Structures are given as structure tokens and as C-alpha cells.
Amino acid sequence: MGKGLAALLGTPVDDDGNPIEEASSFDRSSPRPAAPEGNASSIKTLELPIDDIQPNPFQPRREFNPDEIASLAESIKNHQQLQPVLVRVVEGRYQLISGERRLRATIHAGLKTIRAEVREADDRLVAELAIIENLQRKDLNPIEKAMSFKRYIDEHQCKQDDLARRLSIDRSTIANLMRLLELPQTILDMLTAGEISAGHARALLPIGEEQVQITMARRIVDETLSVRAIENAVSEMLRAEEDTETGLKVTNKSRQKRKPIPPHIEAMQQEMRMVFGTKVEIKASARSRGKITIHFNDADEFERLRALLGSAARPQLRVAG
């Protein structure tokens, strides 16, 4: 992480004892806790009773692999604890900052105490550190990541751009994950269980009807469809809806006569559908003029799109080609 965080927490490590990369930095203007009395740079290392450590309330991770915990517990019993967990003092009690897997493994190993370093950190910094630590773990599911972003933004009343800047990641990463939370709970459960991927889930966003989204999600599982296949299926569905709305009777012959959409327009159309989560049509003439139509199904979706289009943080679209 950047010097701002390192100055406060030293060199943080993940649950496997690896230093967290410095690619993610925070603004030096970030809120900081009051400096402790005496030597502000001192770090206290203690052997704390397990029962004295409260969990990290900002921990986005909800699923912990039992086999991994058991393996880590065996390692701790055989080789002792190589890296201390990080804790802070909150209202006179110790609260975990980083190292929940090590803490769980220590409990699994039957040990009563754990080596810990006591650091100074406020709530916002602890939340940011929890997000960064878990983003680097590939087995953290997309919904846990999305929920951690949402909670941070709600609690600190900031925008996606603000969080992206503080974490030094692309805003699109945050936006794409948070958009998944708009899907029905049935699909979120499938995503959490690993039955479908985040790419599959994003491809379902342009569909307006929840039940249709769920039906398509089940098709992904039953037919083992690729992301590309489901994107094509959704595009075909949206084209069929457009034909129905315009009253056009579609036959194989009429489809053959229909003027094909240029590849770069089709690519941009698909990208905008992913960004806005609804049907988007682009009509372009040979003289580079045209129009973009964004569809909505009800008042709530209209308000969502209006807020998205009117916000300072507009979606960043790349020109496909």
C-alpha cells in the first residue's frame, strides 16, 4: 500500500503472511486517528487470549474454507505462528484488523493465545484495509466484494469515484461488481455458490424481467453455457422484444433482408447494455449521425437511469472497434 497507510500500520500482510502490494495507496489527506501518547511509531506485540479479541466488523468475507483453516491450523501447531495478527483497541477491548484466517486456525488448533500487534487505526482505515486484503484473495466471491463496496459507500457517504481513488483501483471494477447486487437473490445465491460466474451474471443485467433473468440463469447451469453464448442469447431476446414492440412480424426471410448491424455498433450496443443494465439500441446512418435509445420498464428503473446519467461519475465507455 502507499506511504499513508504504511506510516500508520507498518507493512500489512495478508492471512498467508505475504506483504500486501504497494499498488493500492490512500490519500495522505485521509482521516487519521489521534496519535497515541509517547512514541507514535511504537508497535506493541502481545500474546493475547483468543477470547479477548473481537472480530473485525468490516470483514467482507463470509465464507471460510474449512479445509484451508484445518491446514493452516496444522501448520501453526507444527511451525508456530509466523506472522502476528493485527488488532486495535476499541473502547478498551481488542478488535481484529487483519488476520482472521490465522485467528480461526489458531482456535481450530486448540491454542488459547495468539501473537498480535496492536496498531492505531480508525474505522475508515480498517474498512479500506479489509477491502484491499480481500480483493487480493482470488477465492473471495464477487458478492462479498460488492457488499463490502456498498457498505463502505453507504457508511462514509462517498461516491464510487472516491472509493476507487482511495483504493487505487478502476471505478469500473467497483461499478461492475455493485451492479450485480441489482439481480434477484436467486441469481446472487447461484453466483455465491459458484454455479455461474460474474460474467454470466453481468450478461443477465439488461433483461428487465426478474423471472426471465432467473430462467436464463438456470439455462446457464443446465446447458453449461459460456458467457459469450448467454450474451448472444440475451441480445437475440432483446431484438425479438424490439420486433414485438414495433409490430414487425419476424420470419427467416425478413431476418435475412434485415440490414446487419455493423460489428463496432453491435459491440458498443452490448457494452452499453452491460453498463446501464437495460436494453440499449444504437441507430447510425452512413453520415455518422444517429441516436441512442435507452429503455426502462418502470418508474424505479427510470429513476436509476436518470441518477446514473445525471451523476458526476458517468459511466466510462470505450469506443469498440
Tell me the catalytic residues: 100
- 68: Cβ–Cβ under 8 A, 6 or more apart, which residues? 101
Task: Tell me the residue type at 257.
Answer: K
Cβ-contact 257, 227 below 8 angstroms: no
Cβ-contact 38, 12 below 8 angstroms: no
Backbone angles phi, psi at 140, to 5 degrees: -75, 130
According to DSSP, the β-strands at 85-90 and 44-49 are: unpaired
H or E segment and range at residue 290: strand 290-294
Could you tell me where the DSSP H helices lie in the chain? 3-9, 66-79, 100-108, 123-135, 142-156, 160-167, 171-179, 185-192, 198-204, 210-223, 227-246, 252-257, 263-276, 299-310
Task: Tell me the residue type at 6.
Answer: A
C-alpha cell at 62: 463470509
- Cα angle vertex 273, ends 270, 275, to 5°? 115
